Chain A
Amino acid sequence: MRIEATNDFVIRFANVNGTGSASANNMFSKAVFRMGVPVSPKNIFPSNIQGLPTWFEVRVTEKGYLGSRGDVDFVVAINGQTLKKDYDSLMPGGYFLYDSTKSLPRDFSRDDIHAIGIPLTQITIDNYTNPRQRQLFKNIIYVGALAYLFDMEFEVLTNMVKDQFAKKEKLIPPNIGALELGYNFAKDNFAGVCGLKVERRDNVKDAIIIDGNSATGLGAVYGGATVVGWYPITPSTSVVEAFEKYAKKFRIDESGKNKFAVLQSEDELSAMGMTIGANWNGARAFTATSGPGLSLMSEFLGLAYFAEIPVVLVDVQRSGPSTGMPTRTQQSDIIAGAYASHGDTKQVLLIPCDPAECFEMTATAFDVAERLQTPVIIMSDLDLGMNDHMSRPFKWDDDRRYDRGKVLTAEQLDNLSERWGRYKDVDGDGIGYRTYPGTHPTKGSYFTRGSSHDDYAAYTEDSGIYEDNMQRLVKKWETAKDVAPHPQIKYRDKASKVAAIFYGTSAQASYEALDGLEAEGTKINTCRIKSFPFHPDIGKFIEEHETIFIIEQNRDAQMRTLLINEFNVGTHRLRSILNIDGMPIRARRIKRKIERMLSGESVSPFTTHNSGKEVQA
């Protein structure tokens, strides 16, 4: 038996970190994309620079399901350290491509898979003298072999090499040569062996491929961010690096000077301090971090909440607690973000699910933060931030204007008919009018503080004034529900009493699982949460259904907790489906879990605990 599929399979590359495999694997992935077939690559990498195992999974998905599917149909096993594990992980009927310079150990005895031995090391020894070249071209050679095995258009690959090395032309012929070595070896030895095919389609349309962090960095440039204070931390580092790269491209003035300021700070506290200081002073500023940084920034987030200073923070979540698994994904900062800081604080969260949303929500986050004069945390995650994703293209409406919120000019200060108070709620939406330092010689100055203050920003220990101020912040919170992006609610069947709620990177795999269930006759309505505070429609959606699956990637069902807490709804109707193994949540597992739960089985909410038949990839 062999797996046969066209444009619908999962291939996993097992490599050693630091050997140049990533660019070869990306080349394969992009080649599929350029043949018009949707593709979803995932890099599974260690917290290490060189030497530890790393995997790269590419899902070829004609139907455009971009979440993780689960299970592996084809393995390219280049890493001796994980050879056995990779071998065992393969689906029955799958294919195992390995370096046959050395033969496989005896215990590699599965008879339900197809071994494809290519003497990669030997081929490089025969063809190259330089050791680094041998290492790099080994990767290109297996890509060439895959092109033959999957019956891909070889020209797409050679064109990619030409694009990639447009500025280093002399590297083009040897790379194409390496592709040919692999292609020809496979052709001579494994004709007709592989049942998986990539065929040209027209299914990607105008889609782009980019990682979420780059999209976020670009969104910050378009959103008008000028000041960034930041501290490097995986997986958020590339957000600021991308911002700086694009700012250098788009934001240099006539005299060659930067229309932006990026400062690498001494720690995350300082990064948040800089962000607050710059926003207070009327620049759009942001920072990016991950879990440990969010913890460190919490005190400052409380200041920004209470002193009402706009802040944009990008939290690219990773596995916690503490250092956790720093190179593995999770959605486990939801509660830490939502209630960041001591005392009664609540923070606005925006939750993107793909690069296009990373771009849009980041640009929008500055509008939301300035409109509400409060921190806005963009809850991305490692899977979204660091992996390439196929996505709608970025769009910008040139008529769009930044919403700088309620800021008084010198002229407006002169024309005020009554006494101005920084925290006075004159419009009934809980939001006062602020001024930037330096606006007016005699009017509009005030003292910003994290201590209790009255409408005029003066220190107070008057209980009544303190309480009024805290209640006004609640009113502002109500305003936020309409300012932040609304949820995406879809009814597959208005009469159905079963629903699912998910957010961020749990969305793609969830939609796929539910499509599968719908094909089998189970219609489940969906609500994708895009922000916190929750829009009232989410509460209504919960009320309409009897069973609601909350699908997320953390141990403690954090979004479920947040929903119960904010809506005060019956806990028995909200059923968790959880994934905490550090890998993106898989569609097949969600589907199986829902099937079992709906059939009345008492099962664990964790997707890693499924039926024994499932191969745990």
Chain B
Amino acid sequence: MSYLRSTFRHPQAPKNKLGYTQANYEGALSTLCAGCGHDSIANSIINACFELSLEPHKIAKMSGIGCSSKTPAYFLSSSHGFNSVHGRMPSVTTGANMANRDLTYIGVSGDGDTASIGMGQFMHLVRRNLNMVYIVMNNGVYGLTKGQDSATADIGSASKKGRPNMYEPMDLCELAISIGAGYVARSFSGDKEQLVPLIKGAVNYNGFALIDCVSPCVTFNNNAESTKSYEWVRDHKEATNTFDLVPEEQEITVKSPNTKTESVDLHDGTTLNLCRQPGSLDIKCRESVLMALEEAKQNKQVLTGLLHLNTAAGSTHEIINTADKPLNQLTEKELCPGSELLERFNQSLR
């Protein structure tokens, strides 16, 4: 960890629509290992929220237990945060979201927190299509308990301890897509250019948005034999697409030539502009995405980018027909039926 952080901020630091600089989105000093991928992801979250001009206090940061789940302390210090219990961030976030549908929920979890102890909650969260961003800081290893394999570790991959993992890995993206998740992405902590727009798209997406972000553990799983090391991921990363999220009023410019742009409207009026290689993956077709993920696995590639997008499904509140006004803002008058109805009810029980 670093012990000091400069408090100097450039006086002409750019401001967003709210007049905030990026500093308004920062958090406490990280206590993770120097070079931890998680810190890069935290910074990407800061960038994305700044660029989207989100009110920090209208964001709730949710997490479980583990290295990854500590990171909400390191971004958005004006937001409420909830570091819950191991593997249970999905249910706590579900309850929080039911209470107030107007906040933005950013959940941060790890591969142990999601793919092992929290797998049940994760899967059911996907099923319910809760409107939230779910970022998995995926390093294939248990950091806080010092280096045990997690359920996302590839078979044959070895951590610093040296013993190759003997079990099949969980692919969180494949699982999520297979049970109907509508926004599924994979990225790499070291690729900010890809990750920031992915987070922005996830925030604006109405429903469950998963970003499985490979995030090397510099202390326990960054050795040559590991498939979650910086080096391995850089060498085997294959991007399916690049995209940017475009506010309604803004014109888009597509960076790379030789690419095809496809625009998808999100519920909140913003447009997602997707650039992809001609003939590459059709991310709206879930069967072909699942097939591509399998193929990439065979070829020892890590397929990154937005892997699947489906804007048709309603989120939990639409499914269960909740009132538009957040439930935590309903007044006593709106909630309590009162004595007269109660007396009538008594009468029906005689």
A positions within 8 Å CB-CB of B: 33-34, 206-210, 218, 221-222, 224, 226-227, 229, 250-251, 253, 255-263, 265-267, 269-283, 285, 299-300, 303, 393-398, 401-402, 435-442, 445-451, 459
Q: How many A-B residue contacts, CB cutoff 8 Å?
A: 226
User: Does residue B4 face the partner (Cβ distance < 8 Å to A)?
Assistant: no
- Do A209 and B328 form a contact, CB below 8 Å, given A265-B124, A395-B339? no
Task: In the complex, identify which listed stretch (B39-47, B84-92, B151-159, B183-191) lies at the interface while the others stay far away.
Answer: B84-92
A210 and B99 within 8 A (CB): no
* Chain B min CB distance to A262 (Å): 7
When C-beta atoms are compared, the residue in chain B nearest to A401 turns out to be B332
Contacts of B97 in A (CB 8 A): 277
CA distance A459 to B63 in the complex (A): 15
A445 and B332 within 8 A (CB): no
* Chain B min CB distance to A68 (Å): 22
Which of A266, A283, A299, A449 touches B99 (beta carbons < 8 Å)? Answer: A283
CA distance A615 to B3 in the complex (A): 78
When C-beta atoms are compared, the residue in chain B nearest to A251 turns out to be B335
CA distance A59 to B165 in the complex (A): 66
User: Does residue B93 face the partner (Cβ distance < 8 Å to A)?
Assistant: yes
User: Does residue B1 face the partner (Cβ distance < 8 Å to A)?
Assistant: no
Q: List 18 A-B contacts (CB under 8 A).
A: A34-B350, A257-B322, A266-B123, A269-B91, A272-B91, A273-B91, A277-B91, A278-B327, A279-B95, A280-B99, A283-B99, A436-B80, A438-B103, A439-B57, A441-B56, A445-B78, A447-B72, A450-B85
User: Does residue B240 face the partner (Cβ distance < 8 Å to A)?
Assistant: no
B95 and A276 within 8 A (CB): yes
When C-beta atoms are compared, the residue in chain A nearest to B56 turns out to be A441
CA distance A271 to B85 in the complex (A): 14
B100 and A282 within 8 A (CB): yes
* Chain B min CB distance to A341 (Å): 10
A438 and B335 within 8 A (CB): no
Task: In the complex, identify which listed stretch (B196-204, B247-255, B298-306, B340-348) lies at the interface while the others stay far away.
Answer: B340-348
B339 and A281 within 8 A (CB): no
- Do A283 and B91 form a contact, CB below 8 Å, given A396-B342, A445-B57? no
CA distance A438 to B76 in the complex (A): 13
Task: Other than A221-B336, A272-B91, A277-B94, give 13 A-B pairs with Cβ distance below 8 A.
Answer: A33-B350, A227-B98, A229-B95, A229-B98, A253-B334, A262-B320, A266-B120, A269-B91, A277-B91, A303-B85, A402-B332, A437-B80, A445-B56
User: Does residue B174 face the partner (Cβ distance < 8 Å to A)?
Assistant: no
A445 and B79 within 8 A (CB): yes
CA distance A266 to B55 in the complex (A): 33
A277 and B93 within 8 A (CB): yes
A258 and B96 within 8 A (CB): no
* Chain B min CB distance to A433 (Å): 14
Contacts of A224 in B (CB 8 A): 332, 335-336
User: Does residue B77 face the partner (Cβ distance < 8 Å to A)?
Assistant: yes
A300 and B85 within 8 A (CB): yes
Which of A227, A270, A281 touches B60 (beta carbons < 8 Å)? Answer: A281
Most buried by B among A227, A253, A451: A227
* Chain A min CB distance to B9 (Å): 16
User: Does residue B321 face the partner (Cβ distance < 8 Å to A)?
Assistant: yes
Which of B90, B323, B332 touches A273 (beta carbons < 8 Å)? Answer: B90
A447 and B73 within 8 A (CB): yes
A442 and B78 within 8 A (CB): yes
User: Does residue B121 face the partner (Cβ distance < 8 Å to A)?
Assistant: yes
CA distance A269 to B345 in the complex (A): 34
- Do A273 and B84 form a contact, CB below 8 Å, given A262-B320, A402-B332? yes
